[in-house]
Structure 1
């Protein structure tokens, strides 16, 4: 954060405040029918983490302001010294001018010249002296205004810094309240640790089973598609699509939009990242996230992130749907839908609603699991979608 400018830090602070509002709205607004302490603990940890990032950002911004205040204070000291010298010189010059005027007039000074050339030189000197006096007077006015402007800026900077300090204290107090709630949840978990571990392992096992099923479907889809290709390469790569010129162009366009692709929903919050990660509560248990987990508002739709074709639709034993969309040799997976607006074989466009995201009646949460593949290789979606 040290290399960031004040403007960048202000932008980051706004983003984090918006994220905290989303966390409160999406994770803590719904009244839960049944307590899920592991889920609640994860949510509180996420809120604490965002608040801590906000505090770090506020502190970084306050440090920049402190440096600017110190620089401006030094400028004021330097300018005041220069102004004092200017005023002293100007006062001396005015005094000398007054004394010389009392001794002899300008006309007498000119008439007392020995010759015309000397008179001309004296006239030029008088003009230059008058001009210099005027210029020095103007410089004093300018310097005075500059000092006043910097003092005004200093006052404003100090007010902003005071506001930042108050904001940091407020966030710190909220973190302390969240930590108290966290401690209560941890004590509940410790009482029934074996049960929670057992439930968690069951959930991890189910996630792995679903992931393996999708992998198998994609491999079968690749095999079927490649079987229909007439002019196959001599040594086709295993589990990779043999692309037609149109499919290759689509895949190239998909790749060129890396980092610029839209989110698979209108508004939401990433509540689980991609990849292997240690469980925040139970040491020794590792979560292997195949994609991104989003939490969003009730009645939200999943939206396709790019033009493509519906490759397949999976339905779980609980009735949840998973839509697979093909974009050349890239596949996007939209899991945990309760209602579909598309069917297998449909051509879809970027931003099109493909289904309504399921809302859990017990937790009150609306979650979408989004996975990105290149052939059968899972990619980190965070590197491909827009940063918010």
Structure 2
């Protein structure tokens, strides 16, 4: 009877140990797989964004330094400070998001440590009970006597297996305790690393907030200085508006000319096709001409010219050939993914109507975007096309206009130009360099048109 109760107790102990071993480890593993997987991805994304933002800060800092070389405050300097402030605020937001993930990781790891410690205590207690039960059994009964007291050979083998399993479970329990202690040690080490990372991020956040305060102070100082130069700013604005008007007139004229040229070419091609068809019809019918060749030629020419003029008057968009239609379609398909015209820089003035950065109650209108960049920065074609115009306008310096089917891109405020009218250019091909004004501001005016319609370039450019 004692042997039977002993076996029953043994199997109950084994079952309990298996539950204790499997449940906590499996629960912790499942939790780690479900929570850490998504968190790692989000954290990695935050780290990539932080590196990209820090790169933007470095670029903006270099641009700001160039504008600060001049003693006098300028709108370009103010724009660079505003951009750096915006990016700096993004860095702080990014660090705050990283801190939230770190704090969540710390709490989760602390919870795992607590659970592992509890599991370890349970395993130790169960192991102690097993050792105690084993020692009691060893003192009360001799194992050999226990085996030979079996009533049959089958019972003998069962008792032998029982003794062996009991020993194996004790070994497994000891190994489980060792494994749990090792896991606990790793969790505690990980917790220390996470707390150090949190401390480092808090230090970075404090430093970036100090930088933000410094930038805001510099911005206020520049605004104050510029406010004292109101008359000069108004004169500068008037000169810019005149330059913008001249640029608008140039673009409109060149677009109209291209629309008319394409319409005439299409009309001439259609007239030639019609004359050829008529000649083939006459030749096949054997009909004698009713007019002299010269009279027929003059009449055909006059009719063709009239058709051309009529076509020009009716058409308000570029007539596409099969080749230019492909380029135009490809340009449209890349909306939102087009290359930036410069590799470095930021948008200092956006498209459309907006308030002047300093002058009160003054609204300025921008047909494109102004991109502030470094001195001498190369300007590149954002897409393949044909150079339609290379010109120069006071206040806008050199200008390059590229046609992409029925779309046009305009690059103004260039110091140098490296392409010629009629030249075919590829995407990324350098077309010139950015001009730097007397205040140290290097700025490109960039526009996008579809026929005679002005478009917002920000909707077409991809991420830099």
* TM-score of the two chains, using structure 2 as the length reference: 0.76
Partner of 1:377: 453
Partner of 2:164: 127
**1:164 lines up with 2:201 in the alignment:** yes
CA RMSD of aligned residues (A): 2.7
Partner of 2:433: 356
Q: Which runs of 5+ in 2 are unaligned?
A: 1-38, 271-307
> Structure 1 residues 250 and 192, CA, compared in 2 at 3 Å: closer, same or farther?
closer
> Structure 1 residues 184 and 299, CA, compared in 2 at 3 Å: closer, same or farther?
closer
Map 1:172-183 → 2, pairs under 5 A: 172-183=209-220
> Structure 1 residues 212 and 144, CA, compared in 2 at 3 Å: closer, same or farther?
farther
> Shift of the alpha carbon at 1:330?
1.7
Instruction: Give the secondary-structure state (helix, strand or coil) at the position aligned to 1:152.
Output: helix
Partner of 2:443: 367
Map 1:330-345 → 2, pairs under 5 A: 330-345=407-422
Could you say which structure has the larger radius of gyration? 2
Whether the 8 Å contact between 2:57 and 2:87 is mirrored in structure 1 is: yes
> Shift of the alpha carbon at 1:318?
5.7
Map 1:148-297 → 2, pairs under 5 A: 148-230=185-267, 231=270, 239-297=316-374
> Structure 1 residues 215 and 134, CA, compared in 2 at 3 Å: closer, same or farther?
farther
**1:100 lines up with 2:137 in the alignment:** yes
> Structure 1 residues 191 and 348, CA, compared in 2 at 3 Å: closer, same or farther?
closer
> Shift of the alpha carbon at 1:322?
1.0
Instruction: Give the secondary-structure state (helix, strand or coil) at the position aligned to 1:229.
Output: helix
Partner of 2:183: 146
Aligned residue-pair number = 385
Moved more, 181-190 or 82-91: 181-190
Q: Which runs of 5+ in 1 are unaligned?
A: none
Partner of 1:313: 390
**1:118 lines up with 2:195 in the alignment:** no
Partner of 2:463: 387
Whether the 8 Å contact between 1:319 and 1:338 is mirrored in structure 2 is: no
Partner of 2:112: 75
Moved more, 316-325 or 172-181: 316-325
Structure number with the higher helix fraction is 2
Whether the 8 Å contact between 2:76 and 2:441 is mirrored in structure 1 is: no
* TM-score of the two chains, using structure 1 as the length reference: 0.90
Which string of whole-angstrom CA distances, capped at 9 and with x for unpartnered residues, describes residues 149-179 of structure 1?
2222221222122111111111111121222
Instruction: Give the secondary-structure state (helix, strand or coil) at the position aligned to 1:188.
Output: helix
Whether the 8 Å contact between 1:270 and 1:292 is mirrored in structure 2 is: yes
Which consecutive segments of 4 or more residues in structure 1 shift more than 6 A?
234-237
> Structure 1 residues 190 and 304, CA, compared in 2 at 3 Å: closer, same or farther?
closer
Partner of 1:65: 102
Partner of 1:6: 43
> Shift of the alpha carbon at 1:78?
1.5
